[in-house]
Structure 1
């Protein structure tokens, strides 16, 4: 059974995964649909602004903090190796680190950086915006699913 500080760290990691999954769910189901439905210049400009404003202490604290917690929980799992829930812990940590954090770094951030270079007044940006919305949203689904699956695995470990 997972107890004490190990329990608390795992619970915090699970909650962080759930919060991030919720943020990405909201983006996929509401924000990106809304921005994609706007005239392309408005959608592109709004997303450029969103990409600046999302880099704030609250979001980064939860997003990066959950990655740090996932590393700590994974290391503690190898050191302590609880009788129950060890594999769920490792799977949950890996899902967040690879399926959420890794996908963000490898897929979403590069698209955001490319979007930032687009000129909302240049006609050729219209097609690039449409491509961005489709591709970015697909990868957002992946990372949101990774965070949600990580949350579920960590909760299962706590319930073991």
Structure 2
């Protein structure tokens, strides 16, 4: 496998992880705060729509694709690349898979499903919304930080990789 190809893979992984981090940061920084300032029924309904639309988005391809890419890069590193590069790839994969995908699957998605089960104008939705905003955003901060950490690890792997011959 050529060094040039590996460099391209690492640059792509760095950019993709950074894009995922940016989307999460957008929600943590101002989207959730804006939804919280809207009338509760409007904020709830908007978040329900966002949560339904995300499944048909390019972001979902990027989010899930980076899971497979992270596993592949870690395997590539362990099998074929020098130790410093391999270490960065394994740590990057751990950050992405643990901090992005596991948190998404075990925490944020179940919260989204619970919110989606409520009528936006119901009392139950209103009470759920009060904790949803805070808790969902806290966990989303972690997802943003983990995706950023993965991007930085992939960048470090680029820096640690031997120069192309």
TM-score exceeds 0.5: yes
| Structure 1 position 83, deviation (Å) | 4.6
Q: Any conservation in 2 of the 1:48–1:115 contact (CA below 8 Å)?
A: yes
Show the counterpart of 1:109. Answer: 109
Partner of 1:137: 137
**SS of structure 2 residue aligned to 1:88:** helix
CA distance in 2, matches of 1:84, 1:26: 32
CA contact (8 A) 1:6 1:76 kept: no
Q: Give secondary structure in 1 for the equivalent of 2:98.
A: helix
Flag as ranges the 4+ runs of structure 1 deviating above 3 A: none
Aligned match of 1:18: 18
Give the alignment's TM-score, normalised by structure 1: 0.94
Q: 1:130: how far off? A: 1.0
Mean alpha-carbon deviation: is it higher for 40-49 or for 73-82?
A: 73-82
How do 1:47-58 residues align onto structure 2 when only pairs under 5 Å count?
A: 47-58=47-58
5+ residue gaps, structure 1, are none
**1:55-77 CA-partner distances (Å, limit 9, x unpaired):** 12411111111111101101111
Write the mapping of 1:1-160 to structure 2, written as runs, cut at 5 A. 3-160=3-160
What CA deviation, in whole Å up to 9, does each residue of 1:4-44 have, x standing for no partner?
Answer: 32222222111111000000000011110100111111100
**Partner of 1:62: helix, strand, or coil?**
helix
Name the CA distance, whole Å, in 2 between partners of 1:70 and 1:9: 10
Match of 1:126, SS?
helix
TM-score (norm 2): 0.91
Q: Distance in 1 between matches of 2:83 and 2:149?
A: 22
Q: CA deviation at 1:104?
A: 0.6
Gaps of 5+ in 2: 161-165
How many equivalent pairs are there? 159
Contact 1:6 1:73 in 2 (8 A): no
> RMSD in angstroms over aligned alpha carbons?
1.3
